[in-house]
Amino acid sequence: MIIIDVKDDESIDRALKRYKRKHRDVRIVKELRARQHYTKKSVERREQMLNAEYRKQKFGTN
C-alpha cells in the first residue's frame, strides 16, 4: 500500500502529485496487467528484443 504523509503547510494538490508520482514509480498498474495472463519467457524475451531494435532505429544515432 502506498502511504503519503501530507505536511501541514502542503496543499492537497501537491500531495496528490506526490501520490501520482509514487504510484507511477511503483508500477502497480503495469504489474496487475501483466499478471492477467501468462506469457512464456521466450515471448517476453522476443518482445524485449523487438522493442530494443525499434528504439535503436528510432532514437539511436546512425
Task: Give the model confidence (pLDDT) of 28-56 as tens digits.
Answer: 888 888 899 999 999 999 999 999 999 99
The H or E element that residue 40 is part of is none
Spatial contact of 6 and 12, defined as CB atoms under 8 Å apart = yes
Q: What is the pLDDT of residue 24?
A: 87
What is the 8-class DSSP label of residue 5?
P
pLDDT per position as a tens digit, 12-26: 999 999 998 988 888
* pTM, to two decimals: 0.48
Q: Which residue has the cell 528484443?
A: 49
